[in-house]
Amino acid sequence: MITADDLIGLIRAYNPSTNAEQIAKAYGFCQEMHEGQFRRSGEPYYTHPVAVARILADQHLDDATIITALLHDTIEDTKASFVDVERMFSREVAELVDGVTKLTNLQLSSRVNKQAENFRKLIMATSKDIRVTLVKLADRLHNMRTIRSMTPEKQQQKALETMDIYAPLAGRMGMHWLREELEDLAFQVLNPDGRKSIMRRFIKLQNETGDVVQQIKGDLLEELERAGLEGAEIQGRAKKPYSIWRKMQNKELSFSRLSDIYGFRVIVDHESDCYRVLGLIHQRWRAVPGRFKDYISQPKSNGYRSIHTTVSGRNARRVEVQIRTKSMHQVAEKGAAATWSYRDGARVDNPFALDPSTWISSLTERFSSEGDDGEFLEAFKLEMYTDQVFCFSPKGDVIKLPRGATPIDFAYAIHTRIGAACVSAKVDGIRVPLWTRLRNGQSVQIITAEGQTPPASWIDIVATGRAKTAIRRSLREFDREKFIKLGKEFARVAFENVNKKATDRALKTAAKHYGLPSADELLARLGSSEIAARDVVAELYPNLKVRDTDEVGPAVALMGLEPGQKFTHGVCCNPLPGERIVGIIFKGHGVVIHTIDCPNLLHYETQMDRWLDLHWRDGQHAATHPAQIITTILNGAGVMGRICTLIGDQNANISDIHFLDRKPDYFKLLVELELRDVSQLHMVLTALEADSDVAEVSRHRNPELGRDIDSMNGEWGEIGV
């Protein structure tokens, strides 16, 4: 823990004109106010705000922000008041401290709503001064660095909140280093075994290949020196464990199949040098198609500028190279902090630094009318991801959307009325499915029809908070009576499980707990699966134990079908409980269930009247749901038996094994499983992935199957009452 003099010394190094007296005064006030308070680790509490101030000093921030960091918990946790802080320091500091202070006296309906309301206040304060967010993010970073002193339950809660809100917010602020550290610290708590598995693979790879980073840096340096760019700086490192894990999950790849696990940066003096370096790299190594991005000519919305390219480098290993100037690098590293950074006693004038207050203000105006704190939180979380695509309307207007957005998002971005009436779309003049992911520079034309209303399945397709909010509002209005009727049944069953009745009075009380205006609104949320009935019961009767319920069997696994309606699982995608699903109606046969990303849904894009919005029922599902995995294992004594044991250890049942390929040194297997849900599938894949004798493993799907109703070889089930 650093002293006041140490902290002042750090600040003076970049800001010689700092008000050392005020910094020392804030340090002493912090110690005095937190006297007698201790952290869970046993350390004096004031060491926490001092550590937060140190983090911000390392970012070269101004005196007011450093003082705010030292005082950020005084108004909330000590006898100090807003007036005290204003009198001793300044109005500016007092308002910053108040902006960081959490709501403690607000009566909220649930922990989830409290989190959302606290976040709403943070965003409102941020829209006035971005430094509030910088202090809050530094506060969260230090709490995550010291999270091991918390209880396991608290660690899980804080790690989830960090992964869900604060890490994406840091990314949206352009503070990439902070996002990566927050994600990795949360990853250690949420999935320690997964992180250890990644680290073991790294160590094994380094033992086999040597120090790849230094080798490739040497190759790059040699090329630049030959071209006369001796002043260029080269940085290289292996990517963070969580970044690799996320890529493995998103692309369903094993570690051995990942290519660009090493990243390099070339930092030069001038923008023209960036393109010169790009040419040198592409002359020396072969560029990987589709992996080039020019964020200099088209910067990201948070001000990030750089050239990204991936090349096949030494020993054919793919490496990602980022090329930028020193000014661009400062923004890439500091993000929003760059707008408040000091050097030689003055704020740094960086032409590339963007103050994200404009973005935050526009979103605050857009979502501040949302009465539901949970929807506000979800909508804002969706908007925090930085990757953007720019598309054009037929009139040439530019519409900015998050990466992964669809024509539906495009329609809602123009106007809610157009989004609701959307029936199809043309991209660059070609009709495409509504779930098509838009790319930069595409021209999008929305086709509408009177009387059209958005189906519930759109919620799982769209990527923007604006679209999700509008669709939910439309669905609640259109299907309100249907959802209320369904919600009554859900409530009746849940209340009976604790020997209670879902009376009007009980439902009205529950509605107040959730901040809803009426019991009917609560029932509508229950019927639309936005709120779980068992959570309502737990909120009203926290001390009552819910009766153990029977295992959810195949006949009652789905919600959204009519009693007696026949259904079967699509053999093309084998949907599992926990995955987002839709149903396609086949007259005379019943409903075929598909995952929302099943390619075969493309065939029914123009037949939206055949689509059904379905959900898996809450609870422990029976281990009867089929899934297939393909794995390549070493051909060695006992390997096959151990693989089967690993699968069995996850309580998964092997129904069949097919040998797809036999070689002297390896086997390629298709393993058919019977599982409870998608979480169990991920457990199986993770267990196999961590085994040193497994070269690769992935989930297997076969879109060629299931395109015709006659090819369905599964048994048709019938939904229970």
What are the catalytic residues?
Answer: 76-77
Which of helix, strand or coil describes residue 301? coil
Per-residue three-class SS string for 404-469:
CCCHHHHHHHHCHHHHHCEEEEEECCEEECCCCCCCCCCEEEEEECCCCCCCHHHHHCCCCHHHHH
Query: Would you report the helix, strand and coil content of the chain in percent, each value rounded to 5?
Result: 50, 20, 35
In the 8-state DSSP scheme, what is residue 714?
Answer: S
Do residues 676 and 621 lie in contact, with contact meaning Cβ atoms separated by under 8 Å? Answer: yes
| Kind and range of the H or E run holding 268 | strand 262-268
Do residues 673 and 647 lie in contact, with contact meaning Cβ atoms separated by under 8 Å? Answer: yes
Please give the biggest Cα pair distance in the chain.
83
Per-residue three-class SS string for 542-566:
CCCCCCCCCCECHHHCEECCCCCCE
Which residues, in sequence order, are bridge partners of residue 614?
A: 581
Distance CA(145)–CA(147), nearest Å, equals 6
CA-to-CA dists, residue 369 to 172, 196, 365, 389, 478, angstroms: 22, 44, 8, 26, 21
Task: Return all residues near 562 (Cβ < 8 A) that are at least 6 apart.
Answer: 719
The H-assigned helical ranges of 311-437 are 326-334, 357-367, 373-383, 407-414, 416-420
Distance CA(50)–CA(379), nearest Å, equals 34
Do residues 582 and 613 lie in contact, with contact meaning Cβ atoms separated by under 8 Å? Answer: yes
Q: Report the b/e string of 692-706 with b at 16+ CB within 10 A.
A: ebbbbbbbbbeeebb
The rounded radius of gyration (Å) of the Cα atoms in the chain is: 28
State the Cα angle at 693 between 691 and 695, rounded to 5°: 95
Distance CA(448)–CA(411), nearest Å, equals 9
Question: In the structure encoding, which two tokens stand for residue 637, read together?
Answer: 């004594």
The H-assigned helical ranges of 259-317 are 271-284
In the 8-state DSSP scheme, what is residue 11?
Answer: H
Which of helix, strand or coil describes residue 209? helix
Strands 430-432 and 558-559: unpaired
Do residues 523 and 491 lie in contact, with contact meaning Cβ atoms separated by under 8 Å? Answer: yes
